[in-house]
Amino acid sequence: MNGGGLAGPVIPRTVPPVALRVVPTREEDDVPTTGADPFASADDEAVGRGFAAGDERAFAVAFARWAPLVHGLALRRLPDADAQDVVQAVFVSAWRTRAGYDPDRALPGWLVGIARHRIADAVAARLRAPELSTVDDRDGPAAEPVVPDAADAAADRIVLLAELERLGEPQRTVLRMAFFDDLTHVQIAERTDLPVGTVKSHVRRSLRRLRDRLEGSA
């Protein structure tokens, strides 16, 4: 057996909020001082709520936090210039449609949902573009259906991990143990002092929630 014995009390591995300062990046930017930005070091949930409420500071922080991720996702399917266009379109669209964002959901998951559609549209547009076609046809090649691939799985993973972080306690700890510590529900019950039935119920409900959120983002 590797890994030695069972570990002691499991401390949830919390992800510290990413510290971001909202400050001018260049001297000539002449951005007015906005005072202490409440979102700069806020956790993801607070940023999501600020964004939903139409707070531009929260939007700016959301961009800093997740635009590079959306960019990375887009670059899996698209060349540089198109990927940058997609990132831009995703965030413009996110801001305009923020009324449709439910702040009980993870904001990165919602952004990834928008990104999936934008990326698929951009891929389809490239396939239609005659100058990219290797055959000299007048109508352009038919757009191939976008099939699930590794890029979609990577997007799924972003959504799922973000939603996992949004679970309350003790559900989050229970599910992390089931996913990452490979513990059975009985072992989780022993470690958390929760009844076995409660652990099973948390596992089922939490996984159902993750699945619903994932299907809602696709």
Partner 1 sequence: MSLPDPTAGPHLTEEEAVLAALGEAPSPAVGQHLPTCAACRAELDTWRRLVTTVRDGEDVPPVPLPPGTWEAVRREAGLAPTAPRPDLSVVAPRRDAPRRRDGRARRWLPVAAALVVGAGLGAGAVALRPDPVPAAAPAVASAELAPVASTGRGSATVRDVDGHRELDVSVQGVTAAPAGVLEVWLLDSDGGLLAVGTMAGDQLNVPLPADVDLARFATVDVSREPLDGDPAHSSDSVLRGELTPEA
- Site for partner 1 contains 160 (CB under 8 A): yes
Out of 8, 9, 11, 13, the residue judged to bind partner 1 by CB under 8 A: 13
- Site for partner 1 contains 122 (CB under 8 A): no
Out of 118, 166, 185, 191, the residue judged to bind partner 1 by CB under 8 A: 185
Q: Which of 152, 128, 143 is nearest to 77 (CA)?
A: 152
Q: Which of 22, 84, 9, 28 is nearest to 59 (CA)?
A: 22
88 neighbors 190 (Cβ within 8 angstroms): no
In whole angstroms, how close is the CB of 181 to partner 1 at the nearest point?
6
Q: Which of 109, 121, 123 is nearest to 217 (CA)?
A: 109
- Site for partner 1 contains 3 (CB under 8 A): yes
CA torsion 85-88-93-99 (nearest 10°) is: 160
In whole angstroms, how close is the CB of 4 to partner 1 at the nearest point?
8
- Site for partner 1 contains 158 (CB under 8 A): yes
Question: Residue 140: phi, psi to the nearest 5?
Answer: 80, 155
In whole angstroms, how close is the CB of 127 to partner 1 at the nearest point?
23
> Which amino acid, 34?
T
For the beta carbon of residue 197, count every other beta carbon within 10 angstroms: 10
> Which amino acid, 100?
G
Identity of the residue, 73 or 106, whose beta carbon is nearer to partner 1 in the bound complex? 73
First vs last Cα of the chain: how many Å apart? 40
- Site for partner 1 contains 178 (CB under 8 A): yes
- Site for partner 1 contains 51 (CB under 8 A): no
Out of 15, 125, 132, 196, the residue judged to bind partner 1 by CB under 8 A: 15
> Which amino acid, 16?
P
Contacts with partner 1, residue ranges (CB under 8 A): 1-3, 6, 13, 15, 18-25, 29, 31-32, 34, 37, 56-57, 59-61, 63-65, 67-69, 71-73, 75-76, 84, 87-88, 91-92, 95-96, 150, 153-158, 160-161, 164, 176, 178-185, 200-201, 203-204, 207-208, 210-211, 214
